[in-house]
Structure 1
Amino acid sequence: MNNNRIIDHPVLGKLKNQTPVTFTFDGNTYTGFEGDTIASALLANGIRQLRVHEETGAPRAIYCNIGHCFECRVTVDDVNGVRACMTTIQKDMKVDSGKMEAAPFKSKTEEWPRTYAEFEKLNEGKKDGEPHV
């Protein structure tokens, strides 16, 4: 744990009174505290990048921290798309960087015919009853 935490807060109390919780992120073991979200525990441990952008591969991190933007999606115990800012850490929880998923249909839609004439041309020479896809 590094010095990225407030150790004495007027409302939340003193850090030394909190129960530590261990969890893993991308195979490394970290410690957070009971009540921490995955996002806050990772930030306290110096981890900023949670996933990469689906199309560009650019690093993504916490953005809104209230569950609206879905930028903080991670994989928790093999469940994809879990929001790190809304999910509290649990003892021995296995968290992985969000998996890079392909944008839906992006490569296929560019290949599909855009008009009926293109569709007919694509199917020229096929016998009746033969699949057109």
Structure 2
Amino acid sequence: MTRIIDHPVLGKLDERKAVPFTFDEKTYEAFENETIAAALLANGIRKLRVHEDCGTPRGFYCNIGHCMECRVTVNNQANVRACLTVVEKDMVVESGKHLPNIVRKMVEQQ
């Protein structure tokens, strides 16, 4: 794991509580008030989803909520931006999946 452990504004990391969460059915540890993006990066996760049409990997890009590349599913809610969402205890995070053509056509028709 790679994290800043003593930040002049955020304080010392060891003063924050650990928060368990899952990503793609594997349990990881975040720290209170940490975003999903920061927690995943600290745990070595770089790929968050795949492009809906072509299936190419997507990860973190702007990390300030503008680009939408970090969309994940959180507690069954799709298209949540990982860079803006704070991890909560026992949160279930899933990566974005490549949609089969039939599903993609159904979504487009709605």
Please classify the TM superposition score into its range, dividing by the shorter chain length: 0.7 to 0.9
3-state SS, counterpart of residue 34 of structure 2: coil
Equivalent residue, structure 2, for 1:85:
83
2:19 to 14, 21, 27: 21
Q: How many residues align?
A: 104
Shift of 1:8: 1.2
Shift of 1:69: 0.7
C-alpha distance in 2, partners of 1:60/1:11?
30
Q: How do residues 96-107 of structure 1 correspond to structure 2 at under 5 angstroms? A: 96-101=94-99, 105=105
Q: Which runs of 5+ in 1 are unaligned?
A: 109-133
Equivalent residue, structure 2, for 1:61:
59
Counting strand residues as a fraction of each chain, which structure ranks higher? Answer: 2
Q: Normalized against structure 2, the TM-score is what?
A: 0.87
The runs of 4+ residues in structure 1 deviating greater than 2 Å are 99-105
C-alpha distance in 2, partners of 1:69/1:84?
11
Q: Percent identity?
A: 62
More contact order relative to length (CA 8 Å, sep ≥ 6): 2
Shift of 1:102: 5.9
